[in-house]
Amino acid sequence: MDIELVNKSTQFMMDNGQFILQAHRFADNDSDHASRLLRWAELPENARVIDLGSGTGAVDLCWSIERPDLQFCLVNLSEFQLGVIPKWCDQICCDMEDVPCPDESFDAAVCLFTIGHGDTREVIREMSRLVRPGGVVFVYSMVGDNKNISSLSYEIVDRDYIEMCAKDVGLIHDLYMEPYDRGSWASSNIDGYSDYFGGLRPAIWRWIKEA
Mean predicted lDDT score pLDDT of the chain = 92
Cβ contact 115:88 at 8 Å: no
Q: Which residue has the higher pLDDT, 10 or 189?
A: 10
pLDDT beyond 90 at 142: yes
Dihedral sign of CA atoms 11, 5, 37, 146 in order:
positive
Range of the structural domain that residue 191 is part of? 3-209
Q: Kindly state the helix (H) or strand (E) to which residue 44 belongs, with its residue range.
A: none
User: What whole-number distance in Å separates Cα of residue 113 and Cα of residue 169?
Assistant: 21
User: What whole-number distance in Å separates Cα of residue 62 and Cα of residue 198?
Assistant: 28
pLDDT score, position 184: 63
For the chain, the C-alpha Rg in angstroms (whole number) is: 16
Total domains in the chain come to: 1
Specify the pairing of strand 71-76 against strand 90-93.
Answer: parallel
When pLDDT is cut at 50, 70 and 90, the band that residue 6 belongs to is confident
Closest by Cα among 60, 166, 62 to 113:
60
pTM over 0.75: yes
- Specify the CATH number for the domain of residue 139: 3.40.50.150
User: What whole-number distance in Å separates Cα of residue 25 and Cα of residue 171?
Assistant: 27
